[in-house]
Amino acid sequence: MNNITRLFSRFVQRWKLSLFEKVILVNTFVLLLETVVALWITSHNLERNHYLIDMTFIVVSTLATLVITIVLLRLSFRPLFGLLTTIREVSLGKTDARASIRSSDTEIDELAGAFNGMLDTLETVRRERSYLILQAQEDERRRIALELHDEAGQNLTALLIHTELLQQHLQEPLTPETRAQLADGLQQLTRLAEHTLENIRVLSQQLRPSVLDDLGLIPAFRWLVEDSRRSLQLSVQLSIRGFDDREIRPLPPLYETTLFRIAQECLTNIARHAGTTEASVELWRTAEQVCVRVIDRGCGYDPSTQRTSSGIVGMRERATLLKGTLTIRSAPGEGTEVLAELPLAPLQTATSTLKQEEDYDNRGEIDSRLTGRRS
């Protein structure tokens, strides 16, 4: 019996039979076996005149039984075929496809209902994320517009006014007093131009720090700590380990951008919501993964009672894009810890993800300085 079972298993694995085909094959084998046994018994126990009639009856009965079995199995498996069709449609991008629940089999109905519920949940999550992404884009655009209007726009307006005043002074006789006014006006123009350039440089660094492209991840994290001290009034302790070995492969740009943006978003949230001026950032790398952890001892919050913000959605999406995880631990009065863990297994295909990085950044830079609640 064991030999027969192994032989049948090898046959099924070789031909990759479906469940329907397996059931049909087994039933056919059983019916044929019963027919052979019945014929043998009939030929040895009945008179010769009855042999042909009995054999005809057995053959017809066997064929009828086989047809009925096929029809019944086809009807029984039809809901599963419909569910398989729905799964294929969803895999091709038709996310609104749903399995019909009209089977006489309660277990199949439960399976179809669970599948439809899973699709509904995924569709709801997709819509919520799309909404948060669009909201983050608009928030970022609004912030950039305000920065340009309040800083660069006003400075350029002042430059135009001072230029007109200088032109008026040039029409006057060049007396010592006029020369002094021109010199003072030129100094003011220089200061306004330098201030405008500085504002544009800061805005550019917020959108895409050049240090990340020019010098790499470690200098970029050190720059982030210094920038947080200067612009956010945060005292940040930085710990970096696991990057000293020169034999390890460098991280792809998408990994570096993800780690940097997560740390940047966390520090921005701390400055806005944590009620503290102290934080710590840990960056480390092992053979299996690279991680960043940001901790503060501020007011904390309850993640289960607050709606997820655009910033957190952006951080989680960045980690998920690299098959990583983002874990947030927080409680009222106990501060907040954000841990991002990115596995290094996909490194061999990381070069193919550069296009993903460009597409992701073009969606609105869901990263630093996003407005909204920390939740």
Q: What is the pLDDT of residues 121-153, one digit of tens each?
A: 888 888 887 777 777 777 777 777 777 777 777
Residues 185 and 241 grouped into a single domain: no
235 located within any domain: yes
Please give the pLDDT value at position 29.
75
pLDDT in tens, 305-362: 776 677 888 888 889 889 899 999 999 988 999 999 999 864 444 444 444 444 444 4
Task: Name the least confident of 51-60, 174-183, 334-343.
Answer: 51-60
pTM for the model stands at 0.54
Residues 78 and 174 grouped into a single domain: no
> Domain range holding 256?
215-361
pLDDT in tens, 262-279: 999 999 999 988 889 999
Please tell me the total count of domains within the chain. 3
242 located within any domain: yes
Nearest of 241, 213, 250, 249 to residue 358 by alpha carbon = 213
Residues 283 and 306 grouped into a single domain: yes
Residue 366 CA to residue 319 CA, distance in Å, equals: 13
Q: Which segments within 82-234 are labelled E, that is strand?
A: none
Residues 223 and 273 grouped into a single domain: yes
Residue 262 CA to residue 338 CA, distance in Å, equals: 9
Residues 228 and 319 grouped into a single domain: yes
DSSP letter at 294 equals E
Residues 178 and 90 grouped into a single domain: no
Residues 275 and 187 grouped into a single domain: no
CB 148 within 8 Å of CB 199: no
Residue 274 CA to residue 336 CA, distance in Å, equals: 8
Q: Which residues contact 108 (CB under 8 A, 6 or more apart)?
A: 79, 80, 83
Residues 198 and 270 grouped into a single domain: no
290, with CB counted inside 10 A (0-12, 13-18, 19+), is buried
Bridge pairing between strands 336-343 and 289-296: antiparallel
